[in-house]
Structure 1
Amino acid sequence: MSNGSNALGLVLIFFCIVIYFIPALNASRREHSNSVAIFLLNLFLGWTLIGWVAALVWSASAISPAPTESLHTEEAAPVEQDKYQKLEILASLKERGMITDEEFQKEKAELLGS
């Protein structure tokens, strides 16, 4: 009977360790940017209920994406302009003589038709 109680004791200890490290596991699973700090908070202060709850809330908090370099380069996608802004640009080009009246009317029909 002692072998059965030893096995049950090990399962209970394993279960308690998993419960204890739920905040760290959650942060790791979500690829949180502060997962190491969450793990350390959970490891050292998780035995207090406040430390465990703080680590859990932190691990469940929103993850803001890190700014990428492509946002600051010329390859960034152009801002989508609505059709009226495009129409104003076409009118400006026509007034400056950069496009003909026929080209303006054709582009205007395409913009307003879509």
Structure 2
Amino acid sequence: MKKKVAILATNGFEEIELTSPKKALEDAGATVHIISPSGESITAWNDGNWSETYKVDHAVSDVSASDYNSLMLPGGVLNPDQLRQDDASIGFIKDFFKQHKPVSAICHGIQP
């Protein structure tokens, strides 16, 4: 059975902290979805500047932890501060813990 991984992020995520794990997970055969509070595209932060914009697969309000096998939280300059102020994102994260599913966080991603 193919595993499904959610990556929860918003504007200001550290680019390599999303793109490298996403590629590694996909190379290992996982289905990976980028989830954001709004469901709209998100812009990365790289080397002290805004970088590429990435397509989001779903808004956090349209998915649940039961849809996924695990959750990954990339860090970044602005990303964690925005996520920890978003009730739907916090609820999504808490549900992974309630369901005893793996949650990984990189660098500042641990802050929400």
Asked whether the two chains share a fold, i.e. TM above 0.5, the reply is no
Structure with greater Cα Rg: 1
Q: Which has the higher strand share?
A: 2
The answer to which structure has the higher helix fraction is: 1
Question: Which protein has greater RCO, CA pairs closer than 8 Å, 6+ apart?
Answer: 2
Q: When the two structures are superposed, what TM-score results if normalisation uses the length of structure 2?
A: 0.19
